[in-house]
Each structure stands twice: as structure tokens, then as C-alpha cells.
Structure 1
């Protein structure tokens, strides 16, 4: 007996519209049926699932799912942790996707002797082509932050390596930073600068990003800041049980954000998730 029509009807009735996005390739529309629970906790506008859950999808819709792919169901994104056959599916019509809440991100801890915090960054003083040092600034800077040898400044699409440890000045800037190679072209004051710190340890996690509402832009939250939510379980699994710290960085959506502030959210007496105010 061909069960395909029955499975199709079941997914039309019980399944939710979903999209499966592989690590490489085009996304595929499908319908997904959630199996089991998963405790939900709201962190601002973000609803996080504290427990691992499984979704069933039709193999006809998603022929070759893989670990690392992303299943988006409604407005929630989940990263596939395991792919397995479904019990009592003798016809082999279904996949069981074990998923973890959130999208892949990289949390990069501050360098051991101090990281940078702040941004957005810009050139403080115009510099000529061939210059071997440069000064950068931000209105939102951590006074105890440091640039480290090996850190990278990207200016006008070109990358320059920092040659020495430089501390922040009282004028909210890093001054006379030695760089190599010398500037390939002149840069104007106010030109955008991106900082990356390879010296910082990177942890691959899953999380979700959301914007702040207009009413939340006050005090230490400025226009352009975003909210990143990451489960404490993700930090533990990655080997960073102490959780996030200001001065670290988050790499997500092809961008690098500086962690400005962190807030723990609890389920009972235990930390369940972290809310990070990020800027970049």
C-alpha cells in the first residue's frame, strides 16, 4: 500500500509552513510537525526554546537534510543537530530532524589582556597614503579596552595588522596605532573602521538577533544597537560555562558586533539564557 497520499494529507493538516536552508545551496519550502515539548522562555521579543526538540519533515520536500542546516518554522529558526529515520516509517517517507534553537553565531571572547568594546569606529585624524600609524575613535568606548598585536583594522576594504598593544585614551580613541602594511590610500577623518581580534578565543554557538524597540533606545542603548539572545546551555556545550562578558564580540549575519552589556535570564534558580546588547 502506498502511504504517500496519507502522509501528504497528514502534513497538510498538522504540519506548519517551514523552510529548510542547507549549509550550501538553495532553501526548500516544506511543512514540519514538531515532536515533543521544549520549554519556551520569552526574552524581550525573542522566544527561546530551552530544550532540544525534533521536527518531522517529508523526504519528498527535504531529500538530503544535513547537520548544520537551518529549519525555520514560523518565525523561529532552528539549527539541525542530527538527522535520523523516523520509527515505524517502513516506507521511508520521513526524516526526523533533531534541532537546537537559534542560528549559528561565533562568540569571540575578549583577548586575555583586554579587548575592545564600543563602536561604531571611525578614523580620528586624516592620514596620507603610506602612513604606518593611524588613530581611531568611537563615542562608545570601553576605557579599559586594548588593541592587541595581531588585531586587524579594516579601512576602505583594506586590512591592516596592529603592531603593538594600545590602550584607550580619555578622548575616546586609540591613538597612533602602528599598522602594517602602510596605508594603501589616503583616508579621511570619519572614515569607517572595522576591528577584528583573532587573538580572542572563538566559540561556535546558536542564538537569535532582534532589534530594540523605539521606546527602549535610551540610557545606554543607542540607535543601531541590537539584542542577541543565547542559551546558557550553548555556552556550556561550547566550553564557556561562565557565559558572555562585555568587551567580547559576536559574529553573526556576516557582521561583527561588540558586546556592550549582558543580562542573565533565569528559569527557577538557574541561568537559562543571556541577553546581549551588541553594537557594530
Structure 2
């Protein structure tokens, strides 16, 4: 109360006796409004885009049109902020020749819409948000014994996050979510997985692979699975454009193939 009264009487005295010709600013309000400084995108957290996302083929298609010169495929996965930067880079080139887009105009517009929030953060916008990125399901029927031994023989399904599958009805349903807060970012991809029981390989196959490995043949049957699995998850912190991330994720190698799941 005393401070408020002191401010009020001081304001009245100042207004009554101050000569504007002598210079000096007007008497300010009791509570000063804090001006918000521009945020630095170099210190903003941003989660990685999963390698099986539609975004990578779309960006590769845009790269063939020119203008996206700093998108190195071997460094994937890219963060959402990096994807937004690449789209802006391509947009600068395409702005001078819109005819280059042709029938890919809708693709470019979809990418711009997908990363609108990240583009705003590159201009100093607030980095505080949470989002459900996707909901998905897959139902698959396999007739006949599938190949599962990718080390010795081959695999019926490859680059599939190690999801279980067997002859019969296979299904999965999951979602991807991400959140950012200042320099922090988190990404989670979790799903329910179901696969039938997997019978053991024939004795002749087990004997051949054991002989090749110099081991004793063991049956490799597996029971049916119905489980919830964290397929992809990472926690990151960004400092001066350097992101330190921890968790379970995939890295790209030559071409479109993926490296194994690793712990960072």
C-alpha cells in the first residue's frame, strides 16, 4: 500500500511541476509490461521424424525439383525443425519458377502445412506444444511358412522395426506423439502387436544352420504374441544447434535401408 501511494503522489508532483521543454520522458505506469525478446531457434528442441514417415519420400520428390541442396539423406532421421528449414530452402528456389512444381503443388502445400508450427519457430515463435502425429493400424494375413532368419536365409518382411509375424492373422495398431518445451523434445511411438505362434524350422534346416555356426541345433519355435511395444522413443535437448538425444531409434544408411535399432 505504501509503495502504491508513493508512486501516486510522485506521479502527481511530477506531472504538476515537470517542464516538457527540459526533456525527460513521461511518468510511466505502475507495472511495466515486459517485452518478449526474439527466441533463438538454435536452442529449440525438436523431435526426429520416423524413417517410415511419408515425409521423407515427399522431401526426396521435392529435392528432384532442385533448390534443396543441403538435405543429406545419409544423416537421417531429420528433426522436424530441419524438415521445416529444408522446405523453406526449396520454397525460395521454387518461388522464382512456380512452373517447376507442376503436379507436385499439392505435395509442397502438404509439407508446408505439416511443418507450419516449426516454420514459425524458425522465425522466433514460442517452442511449447504437444501433438498426436498419427494413428495407424495394419492387418495382414500370411499364407505358408514365412522366412524369419535374416542372418542365415532371408526375411519375408524387412525394415519393419522387428515386429513379430507368422503364418496366419497378424495385426498391429499404434500411434506417434511428440512434445516440445524450450530446448527439450520427446517423441514416442507405441503400438499393440499380435502375431500367431511360430513353429520351429525343420530339423534339417536347424542342423544346417548349426553346422554353419559351429553350434548345437536348437528348436526356434515361438508362442503367439499379443503385447504393447514401444517401437521408437527419444528424449532430446538442443544447445546451439547441437542435439543430444537418448532413447530407442533408427538411423539411415546407404539408400533407403535402415540400420538396426540402437540405444543412443
Structure (1/2) with the larger strand percentage: 1
Which of the two has higher C-alpha Rg? 2
TM-score normalised according to structure 2 size: 0.23
TM-score computed with the length of structure 1 as normaliser:
0.23
